[in-house]
Amino acid sequence: MKKNKYSLIALDIDGTMVGDSKKLSQRLKNAIKKIQQIGATVSIATGRPFSSAKKFSTLAGCNGPLICFQGAMTYDLGKEKVLRYLKLDNSIVVKSLDYFTKKEVEVMLFYDDMICSNNLSGWARNYAKRNEIKFLESKDLNSYKETSPVAIIGISKPEIVENLVYDLKLRLKDDALVTHSLPMLCEIEHLNAGKDKALQELLKSYSFEKSNVIAVGDGKGDQSMIIWAGLGVGIENGHKDVIKSSDILIPPPEDEGLASFLENLYENNLNF
């Protein structure tokens, strides 16, 4: 692999920066601070909703724009300004809700920082609580067909979700982005969402190229940015497709893989 100078580092949160404990290590915070001190821009790129992602980015001390909702929103934390915000077309909302209703799947609809859900298992309510988002329960989701959420998520067992994602990709074709950042989530966003497209759009504000970008992640929703970036970094215990698509693999958060990688990047003056 050709040695390169890197300027923008995009980091997924869950499974990449933090493990099951959801706790950010001091070592990783220090590593982020050090690479930023020598000129790197570090951005969070996550499927999490805005308020949760913003809180985490601030805690981590990241200096770059925040990418959340799986790339549907990009936000400049310094200027407190939305740079990009893509909501779902109404026709996609109708098709998605009809499909999930027939499959008897638990559903979450995201509106800025509010979740509406049929909450069949209670998972959606717990998710809202963990992410400190307003929660509205509604057993009949038909009333939301005329709205434009930023994302619709179906929740089920991992083996079922695999089939849901495959089936919905065929049904929605090229009209929406269908992916799953976590094994139990089938996510639907605007066609031009996606962490890779968000990063590509973000580059227009910078003087460097995608060859100067590092993308780090573990889930299926990270695959596109890992393939797109100049250096794609996957987590060793991540999704099988991410492992195949990555240029290099690093240990999981429990073993401080990302912190070690960033420390090495710092020692080599942002070269790898």
pLDDT in tens, 24-71: 999 999 999 999 999 999 999 999 999 999 999 999 999 999 999 999
Residues 68-122: pLDDT tens digits? Answer: 999 999 999 999 999 999 999 999 999 999 999 999 999 999 998 899 999 999 9
| Residue found by looking up tokens 């790339």 in the block | 71
**Would you say residue 183 has pLDDT above 90?**
no
**Of all residues in the chain, what percent carry a pLDDT higher than 90?**
88
**Would you say residue 1 has pLDDT above 80?**
no
pLDDT of the residue at 78: 92
Closest CA to 10 of 199, 235, 248: 199
**CATH class of residue range 8-85+194-267:** alpha beta
Domain boundaries defined on the chain = 8-85+194-267, 90-190
Query: Which residues, 6 or more positions from 272, have their beta carbon under 8 angstroms from its beta carbon?
Result: 3, 4, 6, 214, 231, 264, 265
**Of all residues in the chain, what percent carry a pLDDT higher than 70?**
99
Query: Which residues, 6 or more positions from 206, have their beta carbon under 8 angstroms from its beta carbon?
Result: 7, 8, 41
Q: Could you tell me if 8 and 206 are in contact, meaning their C-beta atoms sit under 8 angstroms apart?
A: yes
> The domain 90-190: what is its CATH number?
3.30.1240.10
Query: Rounded mean pLDDT of 187-205?
Result: 95
Q: Could you tell me if 217 and 17 are in contact, meaning their C-beta atoms sit under 8 angstroms apart?
A: no
Confidence label for 3 from pLDDT (cuts 50, 70 and 90)? low
Confidence label for 131 from pLDDT (cuts 50, 70 and 90)? confident
The pTM assigned to this predicted structure is: 0.92
pLDDT of the residue at 64: 96
**Would you say residue 257 has pLDDT above 50?**
yes
**Would you say residue 2 has pLDDT above 70?**
no
Closest CA to 163 of 227, 72, 226, 100: 100
CA 125 to chain CA mean position, Å:
20
| Domain 8-85+194-267 and domain 90-190 have a common topology | no
